[in-house]
């Protein structure tokens, strides 16, 4: 049975429409049956979806399609694009590899808090802009510590190259079954990122009856809470198609410019 393909694009991103049209012509030339949808009107029923946009677009598509067997493939129009596998210049070459099934599917673990999912991270902050907040962390119901900080990031390995990296957290291989907890600008030098198994359940509690807190999932879904928030591994996974010509460490080297020698200016 032939696969059902789709092109999902973000019309709010510059050049997205041009790249979508280019991909359409490539698939038509190769006699591939497909449908075009936009990121704000996604629907199910596909086996494989080409997602055109930056990491934010790919994150949104990954959460939506995680509740089925749909595989997504990112075409980068953003800046770093850790989740993408193709640039707009290499689309035809990438399509050939996809149609030849010269790729692997990686199941990426996700976070869940209530009805909310996150592939990258869940970030908890106080609602008072410009002020630090106090948080209490529990793991499996056991009190661990208090944080006085601008916020807390709970990240998956996939999200360890996102907000967590800029906040001083470690980079985790996506093959690890782990989460990392990272305080944002903590007011003590003893607060350090903590890597834990993904089987643990986290509870982050408000330490003030008057304070209100907000949680953001992948920086896209937001909700307020007053007492505590529970975070655990989701039963759903994001299914990402990865080309076989470059692994995770190759992506890090290229995206973070590890292979570039520093330039000394006089």
Query: Are the C-beta atoms of 96 and 243 separated by less than 8 Å?
Result: no
Query: Are the C-beta atoms of 204 and 152 separated by less than 8 Å?
Result: yes
**Integer CA distances (angstroms), 207 to 21, 136, 225, in order:** 52, 7, 12
Catalytic residue among 18, 33, 38, 55: 55
- Sort residue 10 into left (φ over 0), alpha (ψ -120 to 50) or beta: beta
- As to burial, measured by CB atoms within 10 angstroms (0-12 exposed, 13-18 middle, 19+ buried), residue 148 is middle
> Is 96 one of the annotated active-site residues of the chain?
no
Could you tell me the two tokens for 72? 């997504």
H or E element in which residue 56 lies: helix 55-65
**Integer CA distances (angstroms), 117 to 24, 65, 87, 121, 236, in order:** 31, 11, 27, 9, 9
Could you tell me the two tokens for 144? 């661990």
Q: Which residues are catalytic?
A: 55
């Amino acid at each position: 049975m032939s696969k059902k393909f789709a092109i999902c694009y973000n019309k709010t991103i510059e050049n997205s429409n041009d790249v979508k049209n280019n991909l359409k012509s490539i698939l038509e030339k190769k006699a591939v049956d497909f449908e075009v949808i936009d990121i704000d009107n996604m629907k199910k029923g596909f086996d494989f979806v080409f997602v055109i946009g930056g990491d934010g677009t790919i994150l949104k598509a990954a959460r939506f399609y995680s509740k089925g067997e749909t595989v997504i493939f990112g075409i980068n129009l953003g800046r770093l694009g850790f989740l993408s596998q193709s640039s707009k210049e290499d689309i035809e070459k990438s399509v050939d590899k996809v149609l030849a099934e010269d790729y692997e599917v990686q199941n990426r673990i996700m976070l869940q808090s209530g009805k909310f999912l996150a592939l990258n991270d869940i970030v908890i902050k106080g609602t008072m802009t410009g002020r630090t907040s106090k948080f209490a962390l529990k793991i499996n119901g056991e009190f661990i510590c208090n944080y006085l900080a601008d916020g807390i990031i709970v990240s998956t390995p996939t999200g360890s190259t996102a907000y967590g990296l800029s906040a001083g957290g470690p980079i985790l291989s996506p093959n690890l079954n782990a989460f990392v907890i990272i305080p944002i600008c903590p007011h003590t030098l003893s607060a350090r990122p903590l890597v834990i198994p993904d089987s643990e359940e986290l509870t982050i509690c408000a330490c003030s009856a008057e304070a209100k807190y907000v949680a953001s999932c992948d920086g896209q879904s937001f909700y307020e809470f007053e007492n505590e928030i529970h975070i655990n591994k989701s039963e759903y996974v994001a299914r990402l198609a990865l080309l076989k010509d470059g692994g995770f460490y190759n992506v890090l080297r290229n995206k973070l410019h590890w292979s570039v020698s520093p330039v000394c200016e006089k």
